[in-house]
Structure 1
Amino acid sequence: MHVFKHIHFADTNRSGQALANGGQGYFPADIRRLYNIPNDLTGAGQTIGIVEFSSGYSLQDATLFWKMHGITPPQVAFVSIDGTRNDGGMREDDEEASLDLQWAGAIAPGAQFVIYEANAGETYAEFEAAMLHALNYILNDNQYRPSVLSISYGDGEDSFDAGALQSMADIIQKLDERGVTVCIASGDQGAYGLHNPYGPYSRHADAPATSPHAVAVGGTHLYAHGGECAWTYLGPQHGGASGGGFSDIFPKPSWQTAVPGHARGVPDLALNADPDSGYQMVFQGQPTIVGGTSVACPVFAAMIALANERRASLGRKPLSSLPQVLYSYSSQLGFRDIVVGDNTYNGVIGYEAKPGWDAVTGFGSVDATTFIETLANDIP
C-alpha cells in the first residue's frame, strides 16, 4: 500500500526549462528567501515530531544534506511506536522519512526532532490502526512533548473506515488542545484524491488531512521570482496535483466561514510542492529532486516551530487552535493569495484557484515573516 506523498521528475520541468540551481532543485536558502523566512529564528527550544510509516531514515543522508547547505545538524531522536527498527534508510519507502527530516531540519535547525516510526501494514485497515496507535502514543508522550507534528501520509476518505477517521480526528483535537499543532499533507492526487488510479472517478478529499483540528497543507508551483500558481498537471495520471476538496465525513467547522457549503474544506494553505519547482534532497548518498505535499507539510511545520520560538521569547505558550486562527485572522497573516490553476487530476475535474479561500491552495502560501510575527504577537 502506497500512502506516502512525494514524486520525482527529471532535472527539467514540463516546459523544458531547467530547474533551480542548474537543475539541482531549490536549496534551503532559496525557500527561505522566497517565503521570507526570518533568519533570526531557528526553532530553538522547540520539539518537532514527524510521524513516519516506513522502515526508518538515514541520518547520514540528512547530515550530508545539511552540511551541503551550511546548516548545523539538529538533534534527532528515534522512537519506535510498535517495535519497527530504523534500518538507516535502506529501502525505497524510507525516502519519505529522510525527506521530511531533511527539510524540516533545514528550516528549523535549532529544534529537536523526534521521528515517530510505525509499520503501515499492507492494508488500509492496518494503516488506520498504525495511525491511531501513533497518535495515541504521541498524545501520551511525556518525554519529548512536541509542540508541532508533521504527517505526510494519507489517501482519499473513501479508503478508510469512517469510524477510524473520527477516532483520528478526536485524538488530533486533543493534541491541538494541548498545544500540539498537527500539520497533514493534503495529498498529491488533486481533487481525485486516490492513489488507486482506477476509480471511482469522482472527487475525494484526503484523510486524515480532513480532520477539522489539523492544518491541511496543499501544494503550489513556486517560480524563481517568487510568484506562485496552483500545483496542477493535466497530463498522465502520475503527474500529481494539489489535494483539495470537501469532506464526506466531517461537517464544516464553525470557523471555516470563508468556505462554501456545509463540509470541512481542505487545504487550509499551501506551499511549493510541484516537482517542476522541486526541492533538492539526498537519498542513499545521492542528491535528487522531489516534490509533493509531503515536503510542503514539514516545511510548514518548521515554520510553526519558528512561531512558537518567537512566542516563547515573549513569554507565551505554544500555539493552539491554529486551524481556527488561520480563518479568524486570515486578513492579518500575510497569506499570498493564489488565483491561477486548478487541481484537475486523473480525468476528474478539480476546483479552481480563485481570490480568497479555495479547495486547491486554501488561503494560499505565506510571507513567513508576517505570518510568524502575527502568530507571535497578536494571538493569545
Structure 2
Amino acid sequence: MSTRYDIFFRLYNIGAPTNLLTNSPAEPLMKNFASPYTYINPFATNANLNPSFPPQMFNGSQLLSLYNVESVPVASGKKQVKIAIIIAFTYPGLLADLKTYWQNNINFGPNSTPPKVNVYTMPGATFNAGWAQEECLDLQMVCTMNPNANIWVVEAKSDLVSDLIAAVDYATGTLQADVLSISWGLNDSTGFLSYNNRFTNTNICYCAASGDSNNASWPSVMSNCISVGGTTLLWTPNISTPRTEYTWNSAGCGYATSVFQPTYQQNIIGIERTMRAIPDVSMVANQNTGVYIVYKGTWYSFGGTSVAAPLFAGILSLANQQRFNAGKGALTTVYSKTPNVSVPASYVPPPNNVQQYLYKTIYPSSKYANDFYDVAIGSNKGSVAGNSNVLTTYNAGAKYDLTTGLGSPNCKNLCNDLLSL
C-alpha cells in the first residue's frame, strides 16, 4: 500500500487545516501534525518582558526551564549523537528561519550561533507550504533541546509513504542516525504492516507523534517506536505551583488496530486491552499553549504533537549523548527485529530498549516521581482496541493513563536514569 501521510501540527492564522493535503486516487496522502495558531510579534508579546503575565505560548528558553533540560556537550574524544528529522518536500528558507528563531531576544540572543544543520534532499523534492511549516517547527524544536547534536534534516521527495520510508532508510542506513524524529502519520491500519520492518535497527530510537485527531496513528503505534502524545502546558508565575499540565483533547491516543500489546505494557494498570496502547509519553501540544516558531521570516505560534515529538526526540538525543560521554552504547526503541511476528509473554526486548526501562524499571519505582510530571487532570477521546476509527472517552488519572501515557518528562532526571540502562 502506498500512502501519503498526515503531518501533525496546527496553525490557525494562515488558514491551514489539520489535514493539509487531499487524497490521491492512486496513492493516499499522509498528514503532518502541526497546527498554526496566530501571527506573533515576539518583541510585543514576549512573556519574559513582563514576568507576572502568564504566557500562552512558549519560547525556547521557557521550554528548557519547564521541562528541566540541561545542555549536554560532547565530551572530548567521544561520539557526537546524530539526530535525523524525517520530513516531506523541501524548503530552501529552512536555515534562514532557524537563524531568525535562534538569534531573537526571546530565545538565545543576537550574539548566539545557531546550531549547524545538515540537509539532505531526496532527488525530485519540491516545495510544499504545509510541510515547510512542519519542517521549520521540527527543526527549531530539536535545535532548542539539543543544539550540540549532529542534526540532519532528510527531505523526502514527497509525502507518499514510499518516499517517506525511503527517507527513513537513508537516515538509518546511510546516515546511521541515533534518533529519528517523525511528526507525520495516518490512522492505524493493518495495511501498514509491510513497512514495520523498516523500523528495526537496534541502535536507533524512533520517536513518532501520536497524531492530532484523537485516533491512534501509524507509525506511532508500532512497538518499535516511542509514541509521543500531547498536553496542555500552563505556567502561572508567582504561585506555589507555577507549572501545570493537563490533557489535550485532540491528541492521538488509545489502542492500535494493527499491533498487539508488547510485553513492556503487560500488567500496567490502565491498559485494559490486548493491543498496543499509545501514547507512551506526552509533551506540550495544545495550540492554545503552543510554541513560537519562525516560518518565512515571520513569527507564528504552533501546536500539535508535531511540537511534542521533536522535543522528546531531542531529549532522547541528550540521553544518548550522556551515554556516549560515559563510554556506553546507544539507546533503542526497537522492541523486536521481527515486528509482525507474535512473541511469547516471556519475551524480553533488547537490553538497551527505552520502553522496557520506562515501563518496567522507572514506572514501578520511586524514580517515576523524579523522571515524569504526572498529567492527572482532563480527558481525551481515543481509539478503541482493534478499530482506530471508533473513538471513546478516556480519563486522566494518577500515574499511567491512556490520555498522556506515563506523563511528560523531567528531562535532566530522566536522562540521568537512562544513563544507568
Aligned counterparts of 2:261 and 2:412: Cα–Cα separation in 1: 29
Aligned residue number for residue 80 of structure 2: 45
Does 1:60 find its partner at 2:90? Answer: no
- Aligned partner (choices 193, 206, 227) of residue 244 of structure 2: 227
Report the 3-state secondary structure (helix = DSSP H, G, I; strand = E; otherwise coil) of the residue aligned with 1:357.
coil
Match status 1:335 vs 2:378? no
Match of 1:196 in 2: none
> Counterpart amino acid of 2:120?
V
> Match of 2:398?
355
Q: For 1:1-380, list aligned pairs within 5 A.
A: 1=21, 3-10=31-38, 20=47, 25-41=57-73, 45-56=80-91, 58-68=94-104, 69-70=107-108, 71-84=112-125, 91-121=129-159, 127-141=160-174, 144-158=175-189, 162-163=190-191, 165-172=192-199, 174-175=200-201, 177=202, 179-190=203-214, 193=215, 205-224=216-235, 225-232=242-249, 241-257=250-266, 258=268, 259-320=271-332, 321-331=353-363, 332-333=367-368, 334-344=371-381, 348-376=391-419, 378-379=420-421
Distance between the aligned counterparts of 1:114 and 1:229, measured in 2? Answer: 32
Distance 2:83 2:149 in 1: 7
CA positional deviation for 1:166: 1.9
Distance 2:390 2:326 in 1: 50
Alpha-carbon spacing, 1:262–1:349, altered in 2? closer, same or farther (3 Å): closer
Write the letter of the residue equivalent to 2:301.
Answer: I
Structure 2 gap segments, 5+ residues each: 1-20, 22-29, 236-241, 333-352, 383-388
One-letter code aligned to 1:166: L
Judge conservation of contact 1:246–1:266 (CA < 8 Å) in 2. yes
**Distance 1:20-1:244 versus aligned 2 partners, 3 A rule:** farther
CA RMSD of aligned residues (A): 2.5
Q: Secondary structure at the match of 1:227?
A: strand
How many angstroms apart in 2 are the aligned matches of 1:288 and 1:42? 32
Cα contact 1:24–1:289 (8 A) shared by 2: no
- Report the Cα distance in structure 2 between the residues aligned to 1:116 and 1:64, rounded to whole angstroms: 21
Distance 2:91 2:298 in 1: 18
1:42–1:293: structure 2 CA closer, same or farther, 3 Å change rule? farther
Residues 11 and 19, structure 1, Cα contact 8 Å, conserved in 2: no
Q: Distance in 2 between matches of 1:325 and 1:223?
A: 29
Q: Which whole-Å deviations, capped at 9, do the CAs of 1:13-63 have from their partners, x for residues lacking one?
A: xxxxx9955768201111111111124557981111000013335110011
Q: Given that residues 42 and 306 in structure 1 are in contact (C-alpha distance below 8 angstroms), is that contact kept between their aligned partners in structure 2?
A: no
Counterpart residue type for residue 210 of structure 1? V
In structure 2, what is the Cα distance between the partners aligned to 1:208 and 1:169? 8
Q: Distance in 2 between matches of 1:371 and 1:363?
A: 12
Does the 8 Å CA contact 2:37/2:300 hold for their aligned counterparts?
Answer: no
Paired residues in the alignment total 335
Q: What is the letter of the counterpart of residue 304 of structure 2?
A: G
Is the Cα–Cα contact under 8 Å of residues 281 and 406 in structure 2 kept in the other structure? yes
Percent identical pairs in the alignment equals: 27
Q: SS where residue 319 of structure 2 aligns? A: helix
- Matches of 1:244 and 1:355, distance apart in 2: 17
Q: CA deviation at 1:113?
A: 1.2
364-373 vs 38-47, which deviates more?
A: 38-47
Bigger radius of gyration:
2
Write the distance in 1 (CA, Å) between the matches of 2:224 and 2:390: 31
TM-score (norm 1): 0.82
Q: Return the letter of the residue paired with 1:167.
A: S
